[in-house]
């Protein structure tokens, strides 16, 4: 069979391209330090950055080309896509973006032999990987002893924590105009995507998901512990703790929106208003000097009051759902969002501060220690803001718990029935009007909780933080992550906030790249990154499931 030698040749070309020169210029003392040449004595295997990613992919291609495993062709195709993406991104960067490196001009920046050779290797892997039968993803049904499965889950979640830390720390903190850092981050994403694709093609990803479902309590506990351990990794800087806390705020709000959109199927374009209501209520009850209400309540009570007030307005907004649906409901919610922004801007009732906002909200504190201060745990010092991150992780965990219990309840099944067919749900005896109002109420309460935390974290509450574009971002997070799933909203919010931060190195092009990334994700994963079972069945005809042919039934010809 000729496919195996071609696959091996593609992997060898990828490895060879890794060690060949990638640029025709060498500026080890200038704006391109130690990137055009290899450092065999200071770096593992003599490569770093995108070359290290290519080396890992090339070695994996050679290994899987020589070892026969289930889903071999699909695994190699996933790795080949990664090789092509890494080679193309960095080859294009050297050719076009070299003009932003100070002493290097566009005419100086030219690709040498490394990029074309690695790119040719990736194309060869793709061509050879597509030869032969298109095998399905293998189904791993083997069960191991429970303690073995728990040990495997522990290793998987710890590896996930390390990957998240690597994603955040690769390419710096996103603030410097370092195009090379942005290219390395895109390269890392391509390599990580190829690895995830290979795991899915081998069936291991589905097997790990099944094992996690069998040990749900253990998985949730370990995942929560890993999330709380993030401040102790390389991503535990003040910058990334601030970004992670903001991600947590929008993740909690996105979980609430997932109830309205993902479960009940009600399009809400003004959902950010509930986050703003929670923030302004918390700001007025925080004891801030600019607050109209001169009352200072404990933070747990502030969160409760914010959730109740936001839920009250959610029930009011949900009332028109008794008579309108579809696009008309979207217009009603959009109008409510705009009414809230204009009211907050005009300082209605003196409760929002108008254009001056409500600044000076005091930070949270516990046992005399402020959440915005650095924390020392024995000999380990945690960055400032880590306490806010820990608190928001607990808030998100509580929101996920509420979502999970509601989804599996009678009310959750009623929401899903309304989403599928409201007329059929009403015919089956479901009081659709009340059930839809409850969806708005519960979703608004979760947004109010997140808004109370947001006001204390940012130390200010301003109407500018709750404009229409924020509602669109939350809705995109729900759709991108997967409607109706618990981790989908969290993953979607994380991507929508981390990706723009990491693409700051591309300056004016970062929003363009961000938009292209969203288009590609929704093109190839319309059901979301973590799809619900029903959404997967609706949007994708799964070719991996075997088709069972029904026996033909003989029909007697009538006389």
CA 272/CA 487 separation, integer angstroms: 20
At 445 the pLDDT is 94
Say which range, 133-147, 389-403, 456-470, has the weakest mean pLDDT.
133-147
Q: According to the per-residue pLDDT averaged within each range, which of 288-297, 319-328, 421-430 is highest?
A: 421-430
pLDDT at 134: 54
User: Which one has a higher pLDDT value, 534 or 166?
Assistant: 166
CA dist 400 and 381 (Å) reads: 30
Per-residue pLDDT band for 540 (boundaries 50, 70, 90) equals: low
> Rounded mean pLDDT of 60-76?
85
Question: Buried (b) or exposed (e) across 277-301, using 16+ Cβ within 10 A?
Answer: bbbbbbbbbbbbeebeeeeebebee
**Does 27 score more than 90 pLDDT?**
no
Looking at per-residue pLDDT, the higher value among 328 and 32 belongs to 328
Spatial CA neighbour of 186 closest among 322, 90, 260: 90
Q: Looking at the predicted structure, is the pLDDT value of residue 178 above 80?
A: no
Kindly indicate the confidence band of residue 552, based on its pLDDT and cuts at 50, 70 and 90. very low
Residue whose pair of structure tokens reads 């920046």 in the numeric block: 109
Q: What is the pLDDT of residues 434-478, one digit of tens each?
A: 899 999 999 999 999 999 999 999 888 888 889 888 888 888 888
pLDDT at residue 28 above 50? Answer: no
- Write down the pTM of the prediction: 0.81
The token pair that represents 172 in the structure block? 């710096």
Q: Which of 482, 457, 454, 491 is nearest to 539 (CA)?
A: 482
How far apart are the C-alpha atoms of 213 and 207, rounded to whole Å? 10
Query: Is the Cβ–Cβ distance between 77 and 126 less than 8 Å?
Result: yes
Question: What number is the average pLDDT over the span 171-176?
Answer: 48
Q: Could you report the per-residue pLDDT of 332-382, keeping only the tens digit for each?
A: 899 999 999 999 998 887 888 888 888 888 888 887 778 878 877 767 778
| 8 A C-beta contact, residue 329 and residue 320 | yes
Task: State the pLDDT at residue 315.
Answer: 92
Mean per-residue pLDDT for 384-394? Answer: 89
CA distance 470 to 501: 16
Q: Give the tens place of pLDDT for each residue, 155-172.
A: 988 988 888 887 777 655
559 confidence band (pLDDT: 50, 70, 90): very low
Say what angle helices 386-407 and 486-502 make with each other, to 10 degrees: 150
Question: Quick one: pLDDT at residue 492?
Answer: 85
- Separation CA 273–CA 335 (nearest Å): 11
Tell me the percentage of the chain whose pLDDT exceeds 70.
81
Report the percentage of the chain scoring pLDDT > 90: 16
- Across the chain, mean pLDDT equals 79
Instruction: Return the higher-pLDDT residue of 539 and 530.
Output: 530
Give ∠ CA 196-200-203 in degrees, rounded to 5. Answer: 145
Among 32-46, 86-100, 267-281, 538-552, which range has the highest average pLDDT? Answer: 267-281
**Closest by Cα among 305, 293, 407, 311 to 350:** 293
What band does 321 get if pLDDT is binned at 50, 70 and 90?
confident
Mean pLDDT of 114-143: 74
Mean pLDDT lowest for which of 90-99, 299-308, 516-525? 90-99
Evaluate if residue 513 carries a pLDDT over 90.
no
Closest to 399 measured CA to CA, from 443, 440, 438, 454: 443
The residue that leads in pLDDT, 43 or 489, is: 489
pLDDT at 548 over 50: no
Quickly state the pLDDT bin for 531 (edges 50, 70, 90): confident
Pairing between β-strand 358-359 and β-strand 460-461 as defined by DSSP bridges: antiparallel
Q: What pLDDT does residue 92 have?
A: 73
List the single range of 384-393, 437-446, 517-526 with lowest mean pLDDT: 517-526
Q: What was the pLDDT predicted at 139?
A: 62
pLDDT band at 281 (very low <50, low <70, confident <90, very high): very high
Using 50, 70 and 90 to split pLDDT, how confident is the model at 273?
very high
| Interatomic CA distance for residues 262 and 61, integer angstroms | 39
Owner of token pair 């795991």: 199
Q: Residue 360's pLDDT is what?
A: 86
Q: Tens digit of pLDDT for each residue in 81-99?
A: 999 988 888 777 666 654 4
Query: How would residue 45 be classed by pLDDT, with cut points 50, 70 and 90?
Result: low
């Amino acid at each position: 069979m000729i496919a195996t030698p071609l696959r091996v040749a593609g992997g060898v070309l990828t490895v060879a391209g890794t060690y060949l020169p990638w640029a025709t210029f060498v500026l080890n003392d200038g704006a391109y330090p130690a990137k055009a040449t290899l450092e065999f004595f200071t770096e593992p295997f003599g490569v770093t950055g995108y070359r290290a990613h290519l080396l890992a992919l090339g070695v994996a291609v050679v290994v899987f080309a020589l070892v026969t495993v289930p889903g071999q062709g699909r695994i190699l195709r996933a790795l080949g896509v990664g090789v092509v993406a890494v080679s193309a991104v960095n080859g294009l960067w050297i050719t076009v973006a070299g003009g932003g490196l100070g002493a290097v001009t566009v005419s100086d920046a030219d690709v040498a032999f490394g990029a074309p050779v690695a790119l040719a290797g990736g194309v060869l892997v793709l061509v050879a990987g597509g030869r032969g039968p298109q095998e399905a993803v293998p189904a791993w049904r083997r069960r191991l002893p429970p303690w073995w499965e728990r040990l495997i889950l522990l290793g998987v979640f710890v590896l996930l924590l390390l990957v998240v830390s690597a994603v955040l720390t690769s390419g710096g903190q996103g603030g410097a105009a370092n195009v090379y850092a942005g290219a390395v981050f895109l390269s890392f994403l391509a390599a990580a995507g190829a690895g995830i694709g290979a795991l899915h093609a081998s069936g291991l990803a589905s097997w790990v998901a099944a094992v996690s479902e069998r040990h749900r309590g253990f998985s949730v506990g370990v995942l929560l512990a890993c999330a709380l351990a993030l401040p102790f990794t390389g991503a535990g800087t003040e910058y990334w703790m601030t970004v992670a806390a903001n991600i947590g705020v929008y993740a909690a709000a996105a979980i609430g929106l997932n109830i309205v959109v993902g479960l009940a199927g009600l399009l809400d374009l003004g959902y950010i208003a509930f986050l703003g209501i929670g923030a302004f209520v918390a700001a007025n009850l925080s004891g801030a000097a600019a607050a109209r209400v001169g009352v200072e309540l404990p933070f747990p009570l502030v969160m409760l009051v914010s959730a109740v007030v936001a839920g009250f307005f959610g029930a009011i907004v949900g009332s028109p759902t008794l008579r309108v649906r579809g696009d008309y409901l979207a217009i009603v919610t959009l109008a409510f969002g705009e009414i809230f922004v204009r009211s907050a801007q005009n300082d209605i009732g003196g409760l929002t501060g108008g254009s001056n906002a409500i600044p000076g909200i005091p930070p949270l504190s516990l046992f005399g220690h402020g959440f915005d201060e650095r924390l020392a745990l024995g000999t380990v010092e945690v960055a400032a803001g880590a306490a806010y991150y820990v608190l928001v992780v607990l808030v998100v965990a509580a929101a996920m718990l509420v979502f999970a219990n509601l989804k599996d309840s009678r009310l959750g099944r009623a929401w899903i029935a309304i989403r599928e067919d409201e007329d059929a749900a009403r015919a089956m005896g479901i009081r659709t009007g009340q059930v839809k109002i409850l969806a708005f109420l519960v979703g608004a309460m979760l947004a109010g909780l997140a808004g109370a935390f947001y006001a204390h974290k940012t130390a200010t509450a301003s109407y500018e933080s709750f404009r229409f574009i924020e509602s669109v971002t939350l809705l995109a997070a729900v759709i991108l992550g997967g409607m109706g799933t618990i981790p989908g909203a969290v993953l979607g919010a994380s991507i929508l906030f981390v990706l723009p931060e990491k693409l700051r190195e591309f300056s004016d092009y970062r929003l363009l790249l961000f938009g292209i990334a969203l288009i590609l994700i929704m093109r190839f994963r319309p059901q979301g990154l973590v799809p619900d079972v029903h959404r997967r069945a609706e949007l994708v005809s799964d070719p991996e499931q075997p088709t069972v042919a029904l026996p033909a039934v003989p029909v007697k010809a009538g006389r």
